[in-house]
Chain A
Amino acid sequence: MEKTVNHKAWFLVLPVLILVAFSAVIPLMTVVNYSVQDTFGNNVFFWAGLDWFEQLLASDRMWNALQRQLVFSGIILAIEVPLGIFVALNMPKKGFWASVCLVLMSLPLLIPWNVVGTIWQIFARVDIGLLGYTLRSLGINYNYTQDFFAAWTTVIVMDVWHWTSLVALLAYAGLQSIPDAYYQAAKIDQASRWAVFRYIELPKMSGVLMIAILLRFMDSFMIYTEPFVVTGGGPGNATTFLSIDLVKMALGQFDLGPAAAFSIMYFLVILTISYVFYIVMTNLDKRDGTQ
C-alpha cells in the first residue's frame, strides 16, 4: 500500500515547536552562547572557547559549593525519608482523624518558599524570634548569622519542616494501597512488627519512595530561596549552595561567562544523577521480575 504524503501535518506540530523554542531551547542556547564567549557589554563578544570551564574546574569555588550541596542534600534525604515513613506509619488509616492529618500534613507544602524562609528567619532570630530567643535564654549559644553550625542546623530544620510532609504523604499513599489480606497473613505467620515493615510495607512503598527520593533530591539540589532569605549564604560561605553561588557570580559580580559555564555544568550534574537514578530504579524492577 502506498503511503499518503501530506506535509500539511507539519503545521499542526508548529505551535509546540514554537512554544518549546521560546521557553526552553532559545534561553538554553543563550546560556551556551555566554559560556564560550567573553563580553564587555553592548553585545560585543569575543570567542573564549572552553576557558571559562577550565577556569572554574581549576578553582576551588565551584567544588566547595558542590561539596556543601551534596552534604546538604544527603543530610536532608537521610532525615526526611525515614521521618516521612515514620509519620506515614503512624497516621490514622481512615476516619475523621485521617482527613485532619492529611490537611495538616499538606499545609507546609502550600506555603511559598520565600514565606517559609521569612517565617524561619524571624522565628530563629535571637532578638525577637521565639526559637532563637528561647534557645539563648536557655544558655545555648545559638546565632545563625554568626555561627556555622547554627546556620546549617537552621537551614536543615527548615527544609525538614517544609518537605517531610511530601515524603510522608507519598509513603502514606503507598501504605493505603496495601490490601488488608497482607496484614492478616502476616498475623497468621506470626510476623513481628519489624518483619511486617521490612517484608510488606517497605516493598509495597518502594515505588513511591523512589519518586519521593528523586523529587527531594532534585529539589534540594536546586535549593535557593529559603537559605537566601534566612542566611543569605552565610556566615561567610557556610550555606552558599550551588544556586546561591551561581546567582552571586552572575548577578552579584556580573561574571556572565563563568556563570553560564557554571549553569551548564550544574545542569549536567543534575541530569546525570537523575539519569543514573532512573536507570538503577528500572533495572532493579526488571531484575526482580525476570530473575
Chain B
Amino acid sequence: MAQITLKNLAHSYLPNPSQEDDWALKEIDHVWRDGEAYALLGPSGCGKSTLLNIISGLLIPSQGSILFNGNDVTEAPTAQRNIAQVFQFPVVYDTMTVRENLAFPLKNRGLDAGIIKERVERIGDMIGMTDQLDRKARGLAADAKQKISLGRGMVREDVNALLFDEPLTVIDPHMKWQLRTQLKELHRQFGHTMIYVTHDQTEALTFADRVVVMHDGRVVQIGTPDELFERPEHTFVGYFIGSPGMNFLECSVEGETATVDGNRIALGSDYGRPSGRIQLGVRPEHVKLSKGEGLPATIDRVEDVGRHRIVRARVLGAPLNIIAGEGEAIATDGQTVVFEPGRVNIYSDDWRVEPHGSSVGRRAA
C-alpha cells in the first residue's frame, strides 16, 4: 500500500506539444492518500485513462514525476511498481483454469505453492467462484471473466494500489451493483489505495471516498460526493454531476445580490464585485416553484421519473430544469421560480467565486 504523489505531471501523445490543446493531460499536482478509494470521473477523452496508465507505468509521462511513498518511480517499469490494474474489457488467460488464472500473478513472483493455494481459495470465495475454480476460463460469460480479472488484481496482498479502468462497462446492470458492492467491501477489508476510472457519476459517487473530476485533460475538482454536489468548483462539475445537471444563468453580481436581466436575486453571502463572465449556478433540486414571487418561467415540458418530476422550463430566455415533488402543482402560465438563497453558486469565467467571510469550500488542486 502506498501514498502516490503526482508532481507537475503532464502528458502529450505528440512528440513536440506546442499549444494547450496538444496536451492529453494538463499539468497536475496531487497526492493520492494511502488507503483511500478514489474515483476518476469525466467524459470519454478527458484524459482519465492516460492518467491511470501513467500511474501503472504503461505510459511514461512527457513531464513531471510520480512518487510511491516518496520514491520516484516515473521511469520504473510496471513490474517494479507492484500495481494491480483491471481493464475495461475482461482479460483472462483462456487456456488456463480459473484457479490458474488467479494464481498467475503469484506464480510469476515465485511465491510458495501453499501460500498461493490459500490466497487463491480466499479470493475465489470472495468473487463467488469457488465452485468454478477448476473450470477452464474460456467460454465463461463476460461478468464471470471480469470477476476473474478483479480477482487477479486483488490476489496479491502487498499491492501498492489497485487501478480500475471502467471495469463494469461490459457487465449487465444487475451484476454491476453486486460487483460494486463487493469492491467496496474489499476496500473496507484490505484498505488498498484504489483508483476507479469511470464516466458514470453514479458509479463514481457510490464507490469513492473522494471523486476527482476531469475535464479536457485537466482536474477541475477533487472532493467528496457531497462537495461536488453542493459546491461545484467549475461549471463543468455542476453540469456533469447531477441528473439533470446544474442550471446556469448569465448575470452580474454586486455584494449579496445578483441581477439577471434586471431581476434582482438575493444570494445570502457577500461576493464583492467579481469580474469576467459571471454566471449564477443553481441545482434543479434547489429551484422552487412559486406563484407571484421570483423569476417568471415558461414551462416547456414535464417528465415524470417516478419518485419526482423534472420540469423543463425557460427563464428569461435561458433553459432551466426544476425538480418538483410528485404532488406539487405546476401552473401552465403565471408560474414563477425562486432559488434557495444559500444554495446558489457564483461563477466567474467558469470557476467558482468564494463568498467573503466564508470558511467552507475548497479550491481545486
Give chain A's interface residues, CB within 8 Å of chain B.
179, 181-182, 184-185, 187-192, 195, 199-200, 203-204, 288-291
B198 within 8 A of A: no
Q: Assuming A181-B89, A185-B149, what are 16 further A-B pairs, CB within 8 angstroms?
A: A181-B88, A182-B91, A184-B58, A184-B78, A188-B56, A188-B85, A190-B108, A190-B109, A199-B93, A199-B95, A203-B95, A288-B95, A288-B138, A288-B139, A289-B138, A289-B139
Q: Are A288 and B108 in contact (CB under 8 A)?
A: no
Question: Shortest 8 CB-CB distances between A and B: which pairs?
Answer: A289-B139, A185-B91, A181-B87, A189-B105, A190-B108, A187-B78, A199-B93, A203-B95
Bound-state Cα–Cα, A192 to B104, Å:
11
B280 within 8 A of A: no
Bound-state Cα–Cα, A199 to B104, Å:
10
Q: Are B83 and A188 in contact (CB under 8 A)?
A: yes
| A201 CB → nearest B CB, Å | 11
Q: Are B105 and A179 in contact (CB under 8 A)?
A: no
Indicate which residue in A189, A190, A191, A290 contacts B139 across the interface (CB closer than 8 Å).
A290
B84 within 8 A of A: yes
B135 within 8 A of A: yes
Q: Are B136 and A288 in contact (CB under 8 A)?
A: yes
Bound-state Cα–Cα, A189 to B89, Å:
16
Q: Are A200 and B93 in contact (CB under 8 A)?
A: yes
9 A-B interface contacts by CB (under 8 A): A184-B53, A185-B87, A188-B84, A188-B105, A189-B104, A189-B105, A190-B105, A199-B93, A203-B95
Q: Are B139 and A184 in contact (CB under 8 A)?
A: no
Bound-state Cα–Cα, A30 to B94, Å:
49
Bound-state Cα–Cα, A179 to B104, Å:
19
Q: Are A187 and B58 in contact (CB under 8 A)?
A: yes
Bound-state Cα–Cα, A189 to B107, Å:
9
Taking CB atoms and an 8 Å cut-off, the chain B residues in 106-140 that contact chain A are: 108-109, 135-136, 138-139
Choose among B53, B96, B108 the residue with the greatest number of A CB atoms under 10 Å from its CB. Answer: B108
B152 within 8 A of A: yes
| B149 CB → nearest A CB, Å | 8
Taking CB atoms and an 8 Å cut-off, the chain B residues in 26-64 that contact chain A are: 53, 56-58
Which residues from chain A contact B136 at a C-beta distance below 8 Å?
288, 291
| B86 CB → nearest A CB, Å | 9
Bound-state Cα–Cα, A290 to B139, Å:
7
| B2 CB → nearest A CB, Å | 15
Which residues from chain A contact B58 at a C-beta distance below 8 Å?
184, 187
Bound-state Cα–Cα, A289 to B94, Å:
10
B79 within 8 A of A: yes
How many residue pairs, one in A and one in B, have C-beta atoms under 8 Å apart?
61
**How many residues of chain B get a CB closer than 8 Å to chain A's CBs?**
28
Which residues from chain A contact B57 at a C-beta distance below 8 Å?
187
Which residues from chain B contact A192 at a C-beta distance below 8 Å?
108
Choose among B58, B88, B96 the residue with the greatest number of A CB atoms under 10 Å from its CB. Answer: B58
CB closest chain-A residue, reference B165: A181
Which residues from chain B contact A200 at a C-beta distance below 8 Å?
93
Bound-state Cα–Cα, A185 to B90, Å:
10
| A53 CB → nearest B CB, Å | 44
Which residues from chain A contact B139 at a C-beta distance below 8 Å?
288-291
Q: Are A189 and B95 in contact (CB under 8 A)?
A: no
Q: A288-B136, A291-B135 are in contact. Are A187 and B93 (CB under 8 A)?
A: no
| A283 CB → nearest B CB, Å | 14
Q: Are A181 and B91 in contact (CB under 8 A)?
A: yes
CB closest chain-A residue, reference B96: A199
Bound-state Cα–Cα, A187 to B58, Å:
8
Which residues from chain B contact A288 at a C-beta distance below 8 Å?
94-95, 136, 138-139
Which residues from chain B contact A187 at a C-beta distance below 8 Å?
57-58, 77-79
Which residues from chain B contact A289 at a C-beta distance below 8 Å?
138-139
Choose among A179, A184, A191, A288 the residue with the greatest number of B CB atoms under 10 Å from its CB. Answer: A184
Which residues from chain A contact B135 at a C-beta distance below 8 Å?
291
Bound-state Cα–Cα, A229 to B69, Å:
71
Bound-state Cα–Cα, A289 to B53, Å:
33
| B175 CB → nearest A CB, Å | 20
CB closest chain-B residue, reference A198: B95
Choose among B56, B85, B96 the residue with the greatest number of A CB atoms under 10 Å from its CB. Answer: B85
Which residues from chain A contact B109 at a C-beta distance below 8 Å?
190
Q: Are A184 and B108 in contact (CB under 8 A)?
A: no
CB closest chain-B residue, reference A200: B93
Q: Are A185 and B138 in contact (CB under 8 A)?
A: no
CB closest chain-B residue, reference A185: B91
Bound-state Cα–Cα, A194 to B155, Å:
22
Choose among A181, A190, A288, A289 the residue with the greatest number of B CB atoms under 10 Å from its CB. Answer: A190
Bound-state Cα–Cα, A209 to B86, Å:
29
| B145 CB → nearest A CB, Å | 12
Which residues from chain B contact A191 at a C-beta distance below 8 Å?
104, 108
| A30 CB → nearest B CB, Å | 48
CB closest chain-A residue, reference B77: A187
Bound-state Cα–Cα, A288 to B140, Å:
10
Which residues from chain A contact B91 at a C-beta distance below 8 Å?
181-182, 185
CB closest chain-B residue, reference A289: B139
Which residues from chain B contact A185 at a C-beta distance below 8 Å?
85, 87, 91, 149, 152
Which residues from chain A contact B88 at a C-beta distance below 8 Å?
181
Bound-state Cα–Cα, A103 to B105, Å:
39
Bound-state Cα–Cα, A288 to B96, Å:
10
CB closest chain-A residue, reference B137: A288
Bound-state Cα–Cα, A185 to B150, Å:
11
| B101 CB → nearest A CB, Å | 9
CB closest chain-B residue, reference A291: B136
CB closest chain-B residue, reference A184: B58
Bound-state Cα–Cα, A290 to B94, Å:
13
| A281 CB → nearest B CB, Å | 15
CB closest chain-B residue, reference A202: B95
Bound-state Cα–Cα, A191 to B53, Å:
18
Q: Are A188 and B78 in contact (CB under 8 A)?
A: yes
Which residues from chain A contact B94 at a C-beta distance below 8 Å?
203-204, 288
